[in-house]
Amino acid sequence: MLAEDRIKIQCYSKIQYYKEKGYGENKYDSVIEISPNDLPRTSAKKVKVKCDECGKVFERIWQYRVKSLERWGKDLCSSCARKGDRNNSYNQDRKELLEYARSFQKHECGVQKRTPEQKRKMSQARSDGIAEGRIRIHSHNWGEKTLYQSTKTNEKHYADSLLERLRMIQLDSDNKVVYWTKKHKIKILYKAKTGEFHYYIPDFKIIYSDGSVVIEEVKGRMTDDVKIKAKYANVFCNNKGYVYRLITQRELNENGEYRKFIRDFRKE
């Protein structure tokens, strides 16, 4: 049933309609008070309705109330409209319903499930893009991702964290460093704890004046994932004649350089 006897509406294109309903002459855009039952069948006006079963008062668009009355013969809230034989799944085998629902199911991201071979190719393509500098990864450390132009090589690189940016500055100021880059095209296949294979792209490739090559990773802290990547990276570098180096935030801040850098960066 209706929970209100009178409602206020604005007249637009229905001036003649309301005149015929006995509400007199009205001007365009004028506000009048009417009975909800005098609303046009297709009106989108919201009215207050009381559920005939549970007594709950709720709002419903008038045209939807009209359809509901034609279907059920009474006003029902959303909960009562799904009770008993009004529910399409009432008295049906739940197992059959679940099987039917799962026939439309995709995986949790809403994308069709991919085969292991498809996943491998996608992972390889993405890692190639990151290693070549074509794809930028999202920043997680301090929420800062900044563009840095090297004073030594004149190359532009995105620092994925403030730790990386500080390390870039240090490499530029180190006279023993001849060349460094993030676009080194190096990707290392490793086996994660889950048993799946992924590609690991180190942060820097550094060439020193004595001809030595260092593959370097900058991390805020040590984790199991970092240790696994380091293990595979050491094997890769030994086979190539490179040196693998892992630098943490504690090492970068040994003399307070990182904290000072953060303070100065925030002031800019």
pLDDT, tens digit, for every residue of 195-227? 888 899 999 999 999 999 999 999 988 889 999
Q: What is the mean pLDDT of residues 230-235?
A: 94
CB burial class (10 A; 0-12, 13-18, 19+) of residue 39?
buried
- DSSP 8-state class, residue 128: H
Q: What is the pLDDT of residues 91-122, one digit of tens each?
A: 666 677 777 777 766 555 555 667 788 888 88
More confident residue, 131 or 44: 44
**Contact status, residue 150 vs residue 168, Cβ threshold 8 Å:** yes
Cβ atoms < 10 Å from Cβ of 53:
14
Dump strand ranges (E) for the chain. Answer: 7-10, 31-34, 46-50, 57-61, 146-149, 156-159, 177-181, 188-191, 197-200, 204-208, 213-219, 243-248
pLDDT, averaged across the chain: 84
Backbone angles phi, psi at 177, to 5 degrees: -85, 120
Given a cut of 80, whether residue 20 has pLDDT beyond it is: yes
CA dist., res. 130 & res. 136, Å (int): 6
Please give the full DSSP string across 197-232, using - where no structure is assigned. EEEE--SEEEEETTS-EEEEEEESS--HHHHHHHHH
Neighbouring C-alpha atoms within 13 Å toward the C-beta of 40: 14
Percent of the chain clearing pLDDT 90 (strictly above): 31
Given a cut of 50, whether residue 141 has pLDDT beyond it is: no
CA dist., res. 56 & res. 59, Å (int): 10
Q: What is the mean pLDDT of residues 5-34?
A: 82
Please give the distance of CA 54 from its chain centroid, rounded to a whole number: 40
Please give the distance of CA 103 from its chain centroid, rounded to a whole number: 26
**pTM given for the model:** 0.53
> Domains of the chain (ranges plus CATH)?
7-87 (no CATH), 116-267 (3.40.1350.10)
Q: What is the mean pLDDT of residues 140-155?
A: 77
**Facing residues of 244 across strands?**
215
Q: Which two tokens stand for residue 136?
A: 């930028």
pLDDT bin (cut points 50, 70, 90) of residue 23 is: confident
- Per-residue pLDDT, 207: 95
Say which amino acid occupies 120: R
